[in-house]
Amino acid sequence: MTPPGQSRERASATARQRNRDGQPPRRLPVLLAHESADEPDHQRLTAVFRGTVDPLAAHRTVLDVVTRTGALIKAVRQAHSYAERARAQLQGLAQAERLTELAESAAERQR
């Protein structure tokens, strides 16, 4: 997943640097998985973040932990909750329909 406005090469370099620095990726499902993981999964994710795991194995590990912890489902629910709150706050504002579409689009986007 490449952040908007950033080349794939730059995003990869940033991700590798963050891994070397021991920082987890900045994606909500991964952060939620890291937060709720049991000790073995926490250690697996930490190894991935440190860059000591082969990239393909790292991807599989993260996907497995994100799935097992329910973090992806939790992240989707959280996104929809934020969109619903945004829709409620937009009631009565000028151009509310366009802004509501933006909130819905953000919650529905998948990569």
Percent of the chain surpassing pLDDT 70 = 74
The more confidently predicted of residues 37 and 87 is 37
Assessment of whether the complete model's pTM goes beyond 0.95: no
Mean pLDDT of the chain: 78
Q: Is 21 exposed, middle or buried (0-12, 13-18, 19+ CB in 10 A)?
A: exposed
What is the mean pLDDT of the segment spanning 39-64? Answer: 91
Q: What is the pLDDT of residue 67?
A: 92
pLDDT, average across residues 50-69 = 90
